[in-house]
Amino acid sequence: MSLLTVSQLEAGYEPGLSIVKGASIHAGRGEIVVILGPNGAGKSSLIKAIAGLVPVTGGSVMLAGEDITAVPAHMKIRKGLAFVPQTENVFPLMSVEENLAVAAGVLRAPAAHIEEMFALFPDLARQRRLAAGSLSGGQRQMLACARALIVKPGVLMLDEPSAGLSPKFVEQVFARLVEIRASGVTIVLVEQNARAALAIGDRAYVLVEGREAHEGPAKTLWDDPLIAELYLGHRKEGAR
């Protein structure tokens, strides 16, 4: 059964200027769903709209059978939908520990969850007193994931977690995502790094001009001529 179902979603910052134009995706429990697409296809806007950060003008978002389309952003995490933005995804002047504490405190999650996250991300445990702004890109990404996971969401959405990371860190972050999925969390992953994302994904969508143009199992999508056309020769950069 599908845990997250997005139907005919329309979203954009300006009325009449939709960036997401009728996109429909779904993700089952414990699945890793990858969203690919050329720059400007509206991938980031799609998951930001699902998270409640881009105004939705049409369509619906259902989570575990409940319509959460109009639920404000700060309430979505309470419904079990967590989001990790691509950039500016930590509170830079707060320590690593405070970043986690503020997230745990909002939902009154037990303090033991913070230690659980430190066990999951040992790198962060060593830097717990350090200001988050002084972490490296990869460590920040880990902290952003830990911040989102601390309330044990059912769905974790990530916007280009590999952006700006060295290949070594991309490997680490993606290996961590596989572990997180193994604990039963559904992952929706927007990526430019198609090869790495498809390697860990179960299913994938290709988004073109604000709606899904192609859907299929992640393993076969890499060999698809459409993907080749869209990705071969394209350099990775932060699309919004």
Q: Where do contacts with other proteins occur on this chain (CB under 8 A)?
A: 51-53, 72-78, 82-83, 85, 88-94, 98, 101-103, 105-107, 133, 147, 151
User: Measured from the CB atom, is 46 or 194 closer to other proteins?
Assistant: 46
**Which of 25, 152, 181 minimizes the C-alpha distance to 81?**
152
**Which of 2, 37, 46 minimizes the C-alpha distance to 154?**
2
Supply the minimum distance, in Å, between the C-beta of residue 91 and other proteins.
5
Residue indicated by tokens 């902290």:
143
User: Measured from the CB atom, is 93 or 178 closer to other proteins?
Assistant: 93
**What is the Cα–Cα distance from 140 to 31, expressed in whole angstroms?**
24
**What is the Cα–Cα distance from 117 to 112, expressed in whole angstroms?**
9
Supply the minimum distance, in Å, between the C-beta of residue 140 and other proteins.
11
User: Measured from the CB atom, is 5 or 89 closer to other proteins?
Assistant: 89
Supply the minimum distance, in Å, between the C-beta of residue 216 and other proteins.
29
Supply the minimum distance, in Å, between the C-beta of residue 15 and other proteins.
14
User: Measured from the CB atom, is 36 or 101 closer to other proteins?
Assistant: 101
User: Measured from the CB atom, is 23 or 82 closer to other proteins?
Assistant: 82
Residues 6+ apart with CB under 8 A from 43: 35, 36, 37, 159, 190, 207, 239
Supply the minimum distance, in Å, between the C-beta of residue 220 and other proteins.
33
**What is the Cα–Cα distance from 148 to 138, expressed in whole angstroms?**
16
Q: Which 8-state DSSP code applies to residue 131?
A: B
Supply the minimum distance, in Å, between the C-beta of residue 147 and other proteins.
7
Spell out the alpha helix ranges (H) of the chain. Answer: 43-51, 73-79, 96-106, 112-120, 122-126, 137-149, 167-182, 194-200, 218-221, 225-231
User: Measured from the CB atom, is 82 or 173 closer to other proteins?
Assistant: 82
**What is the Cα–Cα distance from 181 to 48, expressed in whole angstroms?**
21
